[in-house]
Amino acid sequence: MRGAIIGDIIGSAFENNQPDAQDFQLLKPLSAYTDNTITTLSTADAILHNKAYGDTLKDWVQRYPKAGYRPRFLEWALSENKATYVSEGDGAARRISPIGFASPSLDEALRQAEMSTVITHNTQIRIEASKAVAGSIFLAKQGKSKSEIKQLIEEIFNYKLDQTLEEVKLMLSQTSDDLPTPVPAAMVAFLASSDFEDAIRKAVWLGGPTHTIASITGGIAQAYYNHIPKSLVRKTLCRLPSEMEELIEEFEAAYLTPVC
């Protein structure tokens, strides 16, 4: 799970200033967690403590209401409204990584991803995007090869993952902020990478919604490489409040082997 949060923090500084090359400085003074991190932690909290996804989502947003949410979503999260909120964004796919790590089977990962997603993104394209992320993380954690992960995700979700990084970067530069889903772009960055840090660099270099793409890529890359440099963990996670760090440690102690 921390891979997704590291990707969010690194990507946050490049939303409107994408790097020209992949050897950019990973962290800047303004690098910080965003709504991706808050909602990811809410998913982990729900899994760890057997809570409802919707309840923990609202709880964490109410604790950290200034993390960059869309105005309508924030209004819903701060209200007592129990109705389903239908978002036009991509927030569900970027909060889903704990499900991929914690699920005992691919079927369960896909089922739980849908359960979490329909609370705020009850549309087919958003549900499939969340399932693709959770499924990719589960498969990577099980030791599947990149070719196996790619083949299964293409078959199940009809994603086209044969594009080059350059083709994806061009597509993102010509597309509005409201992408159908950033998940295929994030997966292309992962598939082209050689290690965790390289995956994050490629995800940010693509442009578009960098903190979202890097967050999704980071979750998959953590599951696949099972290693994140200690220095990168230290320099990013020190930007989190202590209760966030404690939840990450508790979740990964329950569902992951050490990744540093």
Could you tell me the domains of the chain?
Answer: 2-17+32-255 (1.10.4080.10)
- Alpha helices, DSSP H, located in the chain: 2-12, 35-49, 53-63, 71-77, 97-102, 106-117, 124-141, 146-157, 165-173, 183-191, 196-205, 210-225, 230-237, 242-255
Token pair listed for 244: 């966030």
Q: Is 178 annotated as a binding residue?
A: no
Q: Is 120 annotated as a binding residue?
A: no
Is the pTM higher than 0.75? The answer reads: yes
Give the pLDDT of the chain (260 residues) as one tens digit per residue.
999 999 999 999 998 788 989 999 999 999 999 999 999 999 999 999 999 999 999 999 999 999 999 888 899 899 887 777 777 677 789 999 999 999 999 999 999 999 999 999 888 899 999 999 999 999 999 999 999 999 999 999 999 999 999 999 998 888 755 567 899 999 999 999 999 999 999 999 999 899 999 999 999 999 999 999 999 999 999 999 999 999 999 999 999 864 44
Give the up-direction half-sphere exposure of residue 108: CA atoms within 13 A in the CB hemisphere: 10
Q: Is 34 annotated as a binding residue?
A: yes
Residue linked to tokens 């990962």: 109
CB contact at 8 A, 216 and 185: no
Alpha-carbon span 218 to 216, nearest angstrom: 5
